């Protein structure tokens, strides 16, 4: 996923179309190129609809001009994780997300420790 000129632009702001393409790449969804169409955004949107990442009425929010703010990226990801089917037939949330705490843990086990999070940086995984 780049700028089309062999460059990546890691410090550039993300557009809604780029955010969608990034999510598709992360999930491994197949984006088929339209017959004779060099329009990657149209191809990405069609693949997203086909794979239940977005609903058809959400296509209007995908653009190479609109910035992908935090709210957009969260909603895009949340909807995809609720609706996208893995090869197992389950969604990402039904496979990996649980709203319950296992009985053998305590509330203390669910807190973030100093070694995991810092205000200065990304922190490390436990």
pLDDT at residue 107, rounded to an integer: 46
Is residue 76 one of the residues assigned to a domain? yes
Whether residue 74 is contained in a domain is answered as yes
Kindly state whether residue 1 falls inside one of the protein's structural domains. Answer: no
Nearest to 51, CA basis, from 2, 87, 101: 87
Which comes out higher in pLDDT, residue 101 or 4?
4
Asked if pLDDT for residue 113 goes beyond 80, the answer is no
**What is the model's pLDDT at position 100?**
40
Tell me if 125 is assigned to some domain.
no
- What's the angle, vertex CA 63, arms to CA 32 and CA 16, rounded to 5? 90
Q: Is the pTM of this model over 0.75?
A: no
Give me the domain span that covers residue 58.
16-92
On the question of pLDDT at 103 being above 50, the answer is no
pLDDT, residue 105, reads 44
State how many domains the chain has: 1
């Amino acid at each position: 996923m780049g700028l089309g000129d062999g460059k990546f632009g890691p410090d550039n702001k993300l557009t809604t179309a780029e955010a969608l393409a990034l999510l598709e790449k992360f999930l491994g969804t197949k984006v088929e190129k339209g017959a004779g169409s060099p329009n990657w955004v149209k191809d990405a949107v069609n693949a997203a609809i086909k794979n239940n990442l977005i609903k058809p009425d959400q296509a209007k929010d995908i653009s190479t001009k609109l910035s992908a703010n935090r709210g957009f990226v969260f909603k895009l990801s949340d909807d995809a994780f609720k609706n996208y089917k893995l090869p197992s037939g389950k969604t990402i949330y039904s496979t990996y997300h649980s709203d319950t705490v296992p009985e053998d843990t305590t509330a203390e086990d669910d807190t973030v420790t100093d070694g995991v999070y810092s205000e200065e940086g990304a922190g490390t995984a436990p």
